[in-house]
Structure 1
Amino acid sequence: MLLRVSRDADITAIQRAYRSLAKEFHPDRQKSAEEKVKSEEAFRLIATAYEILRDPEQRQEYEYMLDHPTEMYYHYYRYYKRRYSPKIDVRLVFLSTILVLSAIQYISQRTKHSQALTYLVRDPKYRTKAKEMAIAAKRFHIDKQKVGRRLTREEVKIHEEAVIRSIIAENFELRGDCGPPSIRNTLVVQLVVLPYHVVRFCWWALRWIVLFTILRRPYGPEEKEYLTRWWLGYNQTRWDSLDEESRAYYNRLELWRRENLKAYREAMEEEIRIRSAEDTNQKRYRRYVKRYGPPVAANLDDS
């Protein structure tokens, strides 16, 4: 071996041998130019050998190469992969990706909330209510002493728009996807609290099986509301975005009962059928089919 140590030498022996050989073959210690050229190559090989043997992972690969000399190309692949591949910790990449996605989620929440507020500000119904509340609370009043001058008409308009927007944000609750942004809805927080949610779900499922499947106990108000939401295909966020009147209406229908759910769906299908029958475009389409027959798709192979 270049370092003149045995294969089972420890790191201390390797360091001692490297320091000894470095003193012997260092180019600055050579006298003639020819000896300097030879020592430079020898010193480079010694330094490379030391770098490999002091790293446990590289040393293991080197010993594997000694034991399996026929796998030459595989050794080259591992060497160049280690030498030229970017030295980036996968954990840092994973963490950075999660943080970036969480930031995008939070920005998206803020954008949706801002767009929903803008829609309510432009809606005549909410705008009128907000103006009435602002006048009653004297929110439109501008203290000239604080401003120090008389505002222009454009500045007054901007101030009134800001007041209306703030009143709507304070008094009209936005729910669901358009609700106020929260870091609790981001990926990084969801991953942190994931074990808690898993344990909570397992406990909930076990309780449901024991109480309502094995013991056959009647459903409580929470269980009835959950089944109603489940059969309607609403997740918790969408269900919470409904107003109290709509949720109370669905609960009164007792859709957690399968027979009531079936009747409700049939009623909805009938209502959709009636609306479709009264739609002018559908009527025009039916007259066309009655006169000319159903439309035939063109055969693209003939073109």
Structure 2
Amino acid sequence: MASPAVIRCYAFIFVLSVLLLIRPSISIYCDEDDCYDLLGVSQNANNSEIKKAYYKLSLKHHPDKNPDPESKKLFVKIANAYEILKDAETRSQYDYAIEHPEEVFYNTARYYRAYYGHKTDPRAVLVGLLLILSGLQYLNQWTRYNQAVEMVKKTPAYKNRLRALELERSGGVSNKKKNNKIDRNVQEDLSKELDLQINGAEKPSLWGLVGVGFVLLPYTLSKLLLWHGCWFWRYKVKKAPYSWEDASYLTRRSLGARADAWRNLDEATKDDLVQRQLWVKSNMDSYVSDMRRESKRRR
């Protein structure tokens, strides 16, 4: 293992290499030139003096006035220096970089934030981000759904449902060709009539996308507040008995079951669970104990 002295030496070499590779914080503004020298003004010059100096130099070095290639390059530098010095914020940042050239990372970050951060509307960035996320989410949901459908189609239960549907459409006359296998075209036609409900991989819906949810967020929050207010008034203040829908919600929440899993339960099981009033802790504890005893008995 390397000694602490060797590690410090390597760290020093690494930091020195990074600093050598990074351009000085002043040069990111006007390359290797001084912005004030390019315009021929002092650092204490006011905005009027800077503007006059720029117009004077632009008349001399503008490509329309001077076709010399070197003059054209100089004009680009002059125009860049004027853009930096005419704005109070960027000028103050440049002056700070001159006084503190050792703060490379800080000066560089301020430069790029000033020149590129304000050019992009945050609302456009937000909209673009939501569109990208929604597109990826929608594509992922369709991929998961198609994969789940392909897996379901390989199960015997699906094949039996498909065969039953074929017999129903053909009036009970089964096709005996191809070892009793359904023709691919017929199979695709029949499969469109089967409504596949696959837990965990439902068919994608635009209403479930993050972008749509963000747009509808005010409506969703208002609806949620109204729901909680009605719940509090009905069951906390008026002490009314729970409706079957609300009792179902409490039961599902107590069990930690997903909404789609609860919907797929048969009505008799739902009624039994609701009648147990599992949102009451003692009833829930009793139900868990019964399930454990039932599980041990089956073993």
TM-score (norm 2): 0.65
CA contact (8 A) 1:113 1:180 kept: yes
Task: Choose the corresponding residue for 2:150, options 118, 134, 145.
Answer: 118
Whole-angstrom CA distance in 2 between matches of 1:267 and 1:64: 72
Deviations 1:54-113 (A, max 9, x none): 4x4xx3131355479643334885357636999574845554443333233223322333
User: Relative to 1, partners in 2 of residues 1:250 and 1:113: Cα closer, same or farther, differing over 3 Å?
Assistant: farther
User: Relative to 1, partners in 2 of residues 1:215 and 1:156: Cα closer, same or farther, differing over 3 Å?
Assistant: closer
Whole-angstrom CA distance in 2 between matches of 1:178 and 1:68: 56
Q: Give the AA of the match of 1:236.
A: A
Q: Which residue does 1:242 correspond to in 2?
A: 265
Q: Which residue does 1:157 correspond to in 2?
A: 183
CA contact (8 A) 1:131 1:164 kept: no
1:224 Cα deviation after fit: 0.9
Task: Choose the corresponding residue for 1:63, options 64, 88, 92.
Answer: 92
Q: Which runs of 5+ in 1 are unaligned?
A: 142-151, 279-303
Q: Which aligned pairs between 1:139-178 and structure 2 lie closer than 5 A?
A: 157-169=183-195, 173-174=196-197, 176-178=199-201
Q: Which residue does 1:102 correspond to in 2?
A: 134
Task: Choose the corresponding residue for 2:236, options 193, 209, 213.
Answer: 213
Q: Give the AA of the match of 2:216.
A: V
Q: Which residue does 1:296 correspond to in 2?
A: none
Secondary structure of the structure 2 residue equivalent to 1:177: coil
Deviations 1:218-270 (A, max 9, x none): 22222211111111112333323434444334224333444432221110121
CA contact (8 A) 1:65 1:71 kept: no
Q: Which runs of 5+ in 2 are unaligned?
A: 1-35
1:181 aligns with 2:226: no
Secondary structure of the structure 1 residue equivalent to 2:194: helix
Task: Choose the corresponding residue for 2:56, options 17, 20, 24.
Answer: 20
User: Relative to 1, partners in 2 of residues 1:180 and 1:243: Cα closer, same or farther, differing over 3 Å?
Assistant: farther
CA contact (8 A) 1:22 1:43 kept: yes
Q: Give the AA of the match of 1:266.
A: S
Whole-angstrom CA distance in 2 between matches of 1:82 and 1:131: 70
Q: Which residue does 1:145 correspond to in 2?
A: none
1:176 Cα deviation after fit: 4.4
CA contact (8 A) 2:62 2:75 kept: yes
Identity rate of aligned residues, in percent? 23
1:271 Cα deviation after fit: 2.0
Whole-angstrom CA distance in 2 between matches of 1:237 and 1:21: 73
Deviations 1:170-197 (A, max 9, x none): xxx5154232221222222222222222
Whole-angstrom CA distance in 2 between matches of 1:113 and 1:193: 25
User: Relative to 1, partners in 2 of residues 1:51 and 1:64: Cα closer, same or farther, differing over 3 Å?
Assistant: closer
CA contact (8 A) 2:54 2:78 kept: yes
Task: Choose the corresponding residue for 2:82, options 26, 50, 59.
Answer: 50
User: Relative to 1, partners in 2 of residues 1:52 and 1:163: Cα closer, same or farther, differing over 3 Å?
Assistant: same
Q: Which residue does 2:19 correspond to in 1?
A: none
Q: Give the AA of the match of 2:58.
A: A
Task: Choose the corresponding residue for 1:199, options 215, 222, 234.
Answer: 222
Secondary structure of the structure 1 residue equivalent to 2:150: helix
CA contact (8 A) 2:251 2:279 kept: yes
CA contact (8 A) 1:225 1:256 kept: no
**Across the two proteins, how many residue pairs are aligned to each other?**
254
CA contact (8 A) 1:176 1:240 kept: no
Whole-angstrom CA distance in 2 between matches of 1:272 and 1:139: 45
